[in-house]
Amino acid sequence: MPRVFNFSAGPAMLPDDVMHQAHAEFLDYHNLGYSVCEMPHRGKDFKDIAERTEADLRELLAIPENYKVLVMPGGARAQYAAIPFNLLKGRKKAAYLDIGHWSKEAIVEAHKYCDVNVIASNADPAPTYIPPIDQWNINGDEAYLHYVDNETIGGVEFPHIPDTKGLTLVGDMSSNILSRPIDISKYGLIYACAQKNLGPAGVTLVIVREDLIGDEHPLTPAMMSYTVFSTTDSMYNTPPTFPWYMMGLVAHWVKKQGGLEEMDRMAKLRSNLLNDFIKNSDFYKNPVDPSCRSRMNVPFILADESYNDAFLNEASDVGLVNLKGHRAVGGMRASMYNAMPESGVEALISFMQAFEDKVS
């Protein structure tokens, strides 16, 4: 079976080059006669992998000196708890912007630890726009402002870094990290689980400004403590070494492709191709407001939803898989992260055109 075009939202497609390299060195890593999976995490060889990964990520994202790069377990969801534990610093309130599914999940978790000021919300389970900033209800006494930069399920992405009126900004970039250059210095903390755009599931990248580390809640679990992870080089316990190594291969691959400017160019190319096709069609529709359409996740609805199953089955028959929308939204969703080649989007559009011609 040839490799298919995988439009899954996550775990998602990884670059072919990365998969081939991991395959080639799986049994015998750099003539050591054993695999990265079998390597002690505190030995020199894994230390080299960890250091190279951090160096590549620092270069790609232009991470300033006064930010730590942590590799943590538990996915983005563990950060939903880690953030209030570490960043409340004795305050009782935090600000959260709600623009969709993951925003809401973060709010539910934060509610366990503090008062949550939901500064604006689009309420709908499948929001299609970002509430305008003049409607954000920031009090100013919140410990930080949390938002989701790309809502993976709704397909809503911030076109710019939000203005926080002076609050420490915390961004969930799980589904669009490494897809465009970002000004890290505007943030207190950003985080991203790996399985969308960084590698296989198992590691979470946390980039945090140094002065925000320390003075965490005394009951903070060690496994969620930025102090513990920054003083142990993210090796407090045995880390998920293989996903970490894979994240390093992905970062290196992104560098070889031309870095984040090139990733952004490709992301816009892919999403514009698909959105332009949808716009010119009477059969498909993207419900998201054009001002904040995600470059990564493009949801679309068929004019006649009774064709949904046929669409998915026939797409899968021609090697276009995992196009089903999230159950909260329905319809279809094409997730196109860095690893998706332009040819994958072209193949999808050809299929969609042929399907439309057949049924309408």
Ligand X SMILES: *Cc1c(COP(=O)(O)O)cnc(C)c1O
Backbone angles phi, psi at 52, to 5 degrees: -65, -40
Q: Which of 47, 52, 58, 77 binds ligand X (CB under 6 A)?
A: 77
Run of H or E residues at 115 = strand 115-121
Backbone angles phi, psi at 318, to 5 degrees: -105, 20
Active-site residue identified among 68, 102, 244, 324? 102
Q: Which of 29, 85, 96, 102 binds ligand X (CB under 6 A)?
A: 102
Question: Parallel, antiparallel, or unpaired: how do β-strands 189-193 and 169-172 relate?
Answer: parallel
Residue number of the CB atom closest to ligand X: 75
User: Minimal CA–CA distance to 66: which of 211, 183, 187?
Assistant: 211
Cα–Cα distance between 275 and 293 in angstroms, integer? 9
User: Minimal CA–CA distance to 147: which of 164, 125, 165?
Assistant: 164
Among the listed ranges 74-82, 138-146, 205-213, 282-290, the one in contact with ligand X (CB under 6 A) is: 74-82
Whether 255 is a known active-site residue: answer no
Terminal CA-to-CA distance of the chain, rounded, Å? 32
Site for ligand X in 168-187 (CB under 6 A): 172, 174-175
Backbone angles phi, psi at 343, to 5 degrees: -60, -30
CB of 194 to ligand X, least distance (A): 8
Helix (H, G, I), strand (E, B) or coil at 160: coil
Among the listed ranges 17-25, 71-79, 225-233, 299-307, the one in contact with ligand X (CB under 6 A) is: 71-79
Whether 282 is a known active-site residue: answer no
CB of 359 to ligand X, least distance (A): 32
- Is there binding between residue 295 and ligand X (CB under 6 A)? no
Whether 102 is a known active-site residue: answer yes
Comparison of 23 and 327: residue with beta carbon closer to ligand X: 327
Q: Which residues bind ligand X (CB under 6 A)?
A: 10, 75-77, 102, 148, 152, 172, 174-175, 193, 196
List residues with catalytic annotation. Answer: 102, 172, 196
